[in-house]
Structure 1
């Protein structure tokens, strides 16, 4: 009589926690949630995972290049001023600043910088926020116009009816009637809730496609199907499993839940009212703007702080990590809105090729920057696209020589592609694994668990994560300097009166190193810090940052 009354499938007795793995693809895993997942599809099918196959080797056209806009950041946002390490909090309280972000695909670095100004800031801060991509640039403009909606505008694919209606009103307020055929420039200025202004200047043709998107009539069901077509593309199965295999079990469930719902919110929130598509994230035809690599919105935030925000708001971040992220972003935006209201902050939004923009600033096209002197210029990853030396040549003359703390900040992700690196050995992990086995064979103190892991297949998730983590033990600094020299960065600096900083004052040279530890070459992070920064936070061990200042 008592058979079949259990809580498990078919009334089975539930005596242990079940696996959280990929319920969206073929149903729940039957295993128990005891260990990190070791059964992605490439393991069960005895094949090389697709992310270990180079484009030239692949027969699948879906793997050869990915198109689309990146909706979420690459790695944690940062403050480009870092006043405690530069002008100082006391002097910075009364100082005017001119900041330039030449390739800002989102507003996170602007938010982080404004939120780190002294609470009693008395100066004027003028920010030039540029992005060449028309869609990303105009998403930024709409979000800045009404940042109170930004959590969902930036990270959710669905909105409530009232949110969607408000977004439509904002779009009409910003863009008004379509530009006339004779108009060459779209130029608008909007009041903020404080003393500053939000202004936009871009080619009139640049707003045509974004406005069509923002005012489109695509329905939510079609939009969500298109989003899932991208996220659950069979050609990207191995990438999803690679991400999930590295996560703690509850965080796997959180990611799958987000992929299915498309709404960044705590688990407890009833999402039935989110019945409209977020038109900032879909084309007029309903296609999702995100790349297939946009799998986790945590890639872009300091996950240690995200966890703290969750605890502060009564959420257990060990489980509901996206509920924690929701409240963290909400708090950051609330602080940003307050400071925009209380401070004199002017944001000058533009959409131009950054190489042309530098020339326009030089000749005084933008009235607020007629003296063409910036305290910070963040060129982001432009060096990967146009060349570091070329960017320095374009922007070096625009640094404020009167401020000894002014600098150009840049980072490079792709430099490592031309250099040897353990993490670039996925296509042939045996080359890394066999020497490791040989070196570890005669080490008595080596843990049995590590020894057992080294005996697993070359493409097992633990082995691949081990290979990826080896970059933490490699000082890539000398190799990176050789790379810069080969790209004529030093000679270009000399010609424009700059030099590369030996000691960074804005951002560490690589992730995992404190800014106040200039001589430290290797990351020194705990297991928890590694998980927060690299596994869930999306930071890359090989990404290198550069700072260039006016030569004395």
Structure 2
């Protein structure tokens, strides 16, 4: 409690703790199946039966019976017949016959375009979760029991860690050591809290839902105080220790934290920030996610979606809650302090989207297994992330997992690891470096120089995995639009043929005669990159930045076959 005392918030902290004893707290059980949508939050009334009969029009909600569907129609009608679901819905710039802001000569480009909206913290991943070990395609089942040592620098959120642990064989008996590092202490504090919740709460289902909402929702369940504050108290007490902190997540798993003044200060900011009421939280979220001057950017995204997906995303941008579309939400009334900074400002950019961190095919399959439909994409995401977190929490209890967390510069961390004696540290089986290989950050040559020697030389499958997120900016022919008119015409025809567009090439000519800001034309241009073969351009980029020479100096080589992140066939659900 020293941190609480230091920031002079003892009285506020005690009030929150007292809420844990409130017998009137409206607790909802964990949501494992799509619920009946016949509910009224204003009356705190909800049908608790599964929603097995889906609305035939929007397919966004389910009901347990025809009676419940009829009773709820007056409420659901507003959503089901929302103009945004209309097949002839058009962006505002089309209806108002003007040039959209993103095509204006005065519009900013790149990161500048986003920096005005939100505080710029990247709290959610924007690439699908990866199994960094992928043992089945590398070491193989015969060696799956061996101990493994992985590092993520910078870590960002926990999606890769969760996916990796859940990808281990069910009978894994080795020791898994995970090192999670990010120079942003806010990111690390959020990760520590989620890991502690998943390990320390006895009910894994409850832990999974709390972690999901802390991760992705603007509002938390009102049982947050009674369930999570004891865990937060444990973290505070540990981080205030002079030595590095260790939390026993289970009898077999531990969480070790390299404490720093920045880490303590960030935790103090979250704890000591003034109370944020629901209205303030909603206003702060709306200010970023629904800024009037950003409507064209939102509508450009919406125009490429199916009607019910438009409404699902619109609903998320209104309320900021990840859960099934028709689920009861009155209990989600506690502002999520872990998404807001000083003064109650939302941490993120307005482009942040929780869907981007997961494979959409997997998301939809998880949703269907729990009774949701493909149209209820946020409901599918809820069930997918919940299942991943639940499995992760159970594996923390069954497997031998050692998690080490730090918040330091990636290059300094590498130097510190190299200074360790070989008998103490024998190298990583996997190192995931995210996009610091981009020239705007550390660069591929420096990353290989720093981290290549830290791979486990005794494991032929040891690998360093990175993401070249910005390579296309400086590389000619990296994107379809720069490949020349012949290639562009061929790609457009392939897209039209694949979608069985009536009239084929004549229909294509008709589309190309439209205004450049036509939503259909913009969607077509965006689709070209999915069909465009740019591997030669990427290899040229690697040569330009000296990747192979840097690899040779570091004692590593580029793989000829991808066995950790295998190629996938592009498929669009949204």
SS in 1 for 2:461: coil
Matched residue SS, 1:126: strand
Map of 2:252 onto structure 1? 195
**What residue in structure 1 maps to residue 367 of structure 2?**
310
- Partners of 1:495 and 1:268 in 2: how far apart? 57
- DSSP-derived class of the 1:264 partner: coil
1:413 aligns with 2:469: yes
Alignment of 1:186-265 (within 5 A): 187-216=244-273, 217-265=275-323
Q: Structure 2 unaligned segments of length 5 or more: list them.
A: 1-55, 61-80, 199-206
Residue 31 of structure 1: how far off its partner (Å): 8.0
Flag the structure with higher helix content. Answer: 2
Query: How many angstroms does 1:164 deviate by?
Result: 3.7
Q: Which of these residues, 95, 115, 131, is aligned with residue 79 of structure 1? A: 131
The aligned counterpart of 2:20 is none
2:132 aligns to what SS in structure 1?
coil
Render the CA deviation track for 1:55-85: whole Å, top value 9, x for unaligned: 8757x98656664212322121010111121
Separation in structure 1 between the aligned mates of residue 333 and residue 84 of structure 2, nearest angstrom: 35
The residue number in structure 2 matching 1:163 is 224
Aligned partners of 1:196 and 1:340 also within 8 Å:
yes
- Take 2:91 and 2:351, find their aligned partners in 1: how far apart are those partners? 18
1:165-180 equivalence runs, <5 A: 165-176=226-237, 179=240
**1:363 positional shift:** 1.5
C-alpha displacement of 1:269:
2.1
Deviation at 1:412, TM superposition (A): 0.7
In the alignment, the residues of structure 2 paired with residue 487 and residue 55 of structure 1 have an alpha-carbon distance, to the nearest angstrom, of 32
C-alpha distance 501-439 of structure 1, shift in aligned 2 (>3 A): closer
TM-score using structure 2 length: 0.76
1:34: Cα distance to partner?
2.8
Q: 1:253 to 1:293 in 2, by over 3 A?
A: same
Aligned to 1:531, the other structure's residue is in SS state coil
Does residue 358 of the first structure (1) align with residue 358 of the second (2)? no
Residues 497-521 of structure 1: CA deviation (Å, up to 9, x unaligned): 111111111113xxxx34xxxxxxx
Contact kept, 8 Å, 1:125 with 1:345, in 2: the verdict is: yes
Q: For the Cα contact (< 8 Å) 1:218–1:284, is it kept in 2?
A: no
Contact 2:437–2:444 (8 Å) recurs in 1: yes
Q: Which residue of 1 aligns with 2:522?
A: 464
Q: Distance in 2 between matches of 1:462 and 1:288?
A: 33
Distance in 2, matches of 1:68 and 1:48, equals 27
The answer to whether 1:370 aligns with 2:431 is no
Seen in structure 2, the aligned counterparts of structure 1 residues 80 and 238 have a Cα distance that, compared at 3 Å, is same
Question: 1:372: Cα distance to partner?
Answer: 4.4
Measured at CA, do residues 433 and 191 of structure 1 come closer, stay the same or move farther in structure 2, by a change above 3 Å? same
User: Which residue is equivalent to 1:6?
Assistant: none
Corresponding residue SS for 2:456 = coil
- C-alpha contact 2:257 2:404 (8 A) present in aligned 1: yes
Change (3 A) 1:204 1:224: same
Alignment match, 2:64:
none
Q: Secondary structure at the match of 1:104?
A: coil
Find the aligned partners of 2:181 and 2:112 in 1 and give their Cα distance: 33
Contact 2:178 2:403 in 1 (8 A): yes
Q: TM-score, normalised by structure 1?
A: 0.79
Note the C-alpha offset of 1:116: 0.9
Contact 2:85 2:308 (C-alpha < 8 Å) held by counterparts: no
How big is the alpha-carbon RMSD for the aligned residues of Structure 1 and Structure 2? Answer: 3.1
Distance 1:398 1:31, change over 3 A: closer
1:14-25 maps to which residues of 2 (within 5 A)? none
Match of 1:272 among 326, 330, 343: 330
Residue 548 of structure 1 corresponds to none
